[in-house]
Structure 1
Amino acid sequence: MMNLVTMAKVVRTVDGEWKSTLAEEILERWGYDRGTVFYYRASSNFLFVFKKAGKRYFLRFSDSNEKAYSQIESEMNILEYLRDQPICVALPVRSNNGNLIECIEADIGTYYAVVFEALPGKQLEIEELEEDDFHAWGNHLGRLHKIFKEMPAEYRSGRKDVQDQLDDVFKNIPDYETAALKEFDAIKHWVGALGRSNENFGVIHYDFELDNLIWQDGEIGILDFDDCMNNWFVADIAYALRDILKTRDDMENPFVNAFIAGYQSETQIDQLLVKELPMFIRMHNLFTFVSLLRIIDVPESMDLSEGLINLKEKLKQYIEKYRNSFSS
């Protein structure tokens, strides 16, 4: 998620009908049906839904101070590779200039924008899933990882490595966060003992949760490769199943077993690393904790909307939850 100061600049352009002149200005590069551009959400990027010739699309853009052009470019390269693979993903759409990424110099900042096709189908909540659905969920992640394992090495070079992420995390943990620093030391020691191979380590999605999946007729479409990075493949499983994997005892949950069985129907899995799923969740929790500290780091004098004030308070609660988990 982006810093709240960055978020506030764009949110201020959204009116009471969820329309934004900034979003419409950006979409001039692609074209759109007038009156169809609406604010959808803001997290690590700004997202707007719109129609062009009656067809539904999504506009995604980010502040240049939050995200490097090269990071988005490497994501687009991976998606272009996946275009020809046996898997359904939300694909980028070229602008009228023939570009997958457009750079927009607006009055309030510089933004990098992309447009994606909207996938048909619906999103599901975890309470709606049966064992067969968990099997399908795992199957599609296994299929994606199988493709990533066979993907040429040059596609990996533009994505961050988990070690880089750990280095960034350490630099951004304040000295007074003693529990988080202790947790970092434990995670660093644990990571140092893990082996890497082409079968257990490579590009992963790293946000393979239900919010980024579209279900239709037994197939699952995948959204949002913004967080993809070089990490252990098991880390993708850990993040996907984090809501039902609270302790090592949960490894025997039939839903977890169904997910892993579905995964194994497409590609191999390192069984030793599967036993480390709870540790991979701890590592992601530490990443999230440090990210949240940065997000809410705004001047006290900053004039935030009521919605962003409420969001800040909610994020503070998450921070405290993670902080307490490090101490337990």
Structure 2
Amino acid sequence: MLKLKYLFFNKNLAVDGIRRWKTEMNNVEELLPYFRISSNAIYPFLNNDKICFLRLAPVEEKIKDNEYGEIEFIQYLREHNFSALTPLPSLNGQLIEIIKTEWGTYFASVFERVEGVPIEDTDLNDNIIFVYGKTLGTLHRLASDFRPSVKKWTYEDVLEWIEKELGLYGAQTAAMNEYIEVKNLLETLPKNKKNFGLVHYDFEPDNIFYDVETETCNVIDFEDGIYHWFALDIEQVFDSLAEFMDEERVAVARKMFLNGYCTEFEISSDMLALLPVFRRFIDLYSYTRIMHSTSEILDNEPDWLNKIKEKLNWKKNSILAKWS
């Protein structure tokens, strides 16, 4: 989640980034108004009649090994026939360009649009949920054998960052107490190849595209991945499904998801029993990221930005209420 100062549309910055991948710049601005900015700035554009996405990540907000580690993981997955998005090399043959501009320095990368529709836009029937689970099981099976040359950060690294940020922004005592409890709980958990590895971290419906023709899922947005217990991804999915279904349907969908998952990778009942612990880690991380994102007050903040801040503060306070 970026600091709010990075949420503004910047056409000139986008064009500057796109020209590193595209020599013919006619009509390049046609799709730019459909940009999206959250954890990064994402600008769509046409390249050889295909829709592609330029991703701009401010260097001061990111960790270099996480950016390069993401690309390495995606390439590994694709080499093993996993349906992950395709990164495209720049005109210089680089999958990541570090660009220095008058607006700052950015990690720039480009990805092709994947086939299918966001799984949240389907009817989420039993077969689709089964395939959804099977896809995550495949991802975790491959991740369990992944040996990177560039390693993304671990949950321990995240906890160190959380401690620093909570101290920097004067977090409430309840947040610091939660940090200590979560850290101590995670230190007691077993780690092995079957339960721990590189997780997607954001395997929620808006990052999964279902292809009706092939009845498969295509996965995007691996940047938030960290080394953690695989069950964390399952907790993220279970929580997100509740946004689209009533309680009775959620129970059935979760079972169907696990059925699909277990065709590819084993998950123990002990790990599933720890989902509430992983939810606490997720909440703590989300709380801290919101604090970081909203830490600066900008001059003449527009109404749309104030609405975003209201939404973020509501989420932060909802998490804080769990600890009070």
Aligned twin of 2:240: 243
State the percentage of identical aligned residues. Answer: 28
Runs of 4+ in 1 over 3 A off after TM superposition: 243-246
Q: 2-side partners of 1:112 and 1:303: how far apart?
A: 28
The counterpart of 2:77, out of the listed 54, 74, 82, is 82
- TM-score normalised by L of structure 1: 0.89
AA matched with 1:186 = E
Q: Which position in structure 2 is the counterpart of 1:16?
A: none
Change (3 A) 1:126 1:325: farther
Q: Match for residue 4 of structure 1?
A: 4
Query: How many angstroms does 1:244 deviate by?
Result: 4.8
Alpha-carbon separation, structure 1, partners of 2:163 and 2:126: 39
Within 5 Å, give how 1:227-242 maps onto structure 2.
227-242=224-239
Matched with 1:312 is 309
SS in 1 for 2:202: coil
Q: Which residue matches 2:107? A: 112
Deviation at 1:120, TM superposition (A): 1.6
Q: What is the SS of the residue equivalent to 1:128? A: coil
Equivalent residue number for residue 36 of structure 1: 30
| 1:71-220 equivalent positions in 2, closer than 5 A | 71-125=66-120, 128-151=123-146, 153-155=147-149, 158-174=151-167, 175-217=170-212, 218-220=215-217
Q: Give 1:278's aligned residue.
A: 276
**Aligned-residue offset at 1:48:** 0.7
What runs of 5+ residues in structure 1 fail to find an aligned partner?
Answer: 14-19
2:65 counterpart residue number: 70
Q: TM-score, normalised by structure 2?
A: 0.90
User: Residue deviations 1:244-302, cap 9 Å, x none?
Assistant: 579xx99x912111111111000111220111112211210110001101101113x53
Q: Which consecutive unaligned segments of at least 5 residues does structure 2 have?
A: none
User: How far off its partner does 1:22 sit?
Assistant: 1.6
Q: Which residue of 1 aligns with 2:260?
A: 262
Kept in 2, the 8 Å contact 1:214–1:222? The answer is: yes
Return the alpha-carbon distance in structure 1 between the equivalents of residues 318 and 121 of structure 2. 22
Over aligned residue pairs, what C-alpha RMSD do you find? 2.1
Task: Report how many residues are paired.
Answer: 313
1:117 deviates by 0.7
Provide Cα deviations, 1:200-251, integer angstroms capped at 9, x if missing partner. Answer: 10111111001101111210000001011110000111112113579xx99x
Summarize the Cα distance change of 1:176–1:37 in structure 2 as closer, same or farther, 3 Å threshold: closer
1:176 shift after superposition: 4.8
Distance 2:2 2:309 in 1: 12
1:135 aligned partner, one-letter code: F
**Mean Cα displacement is larger for which, 171-180 or 24-33?**
171-180
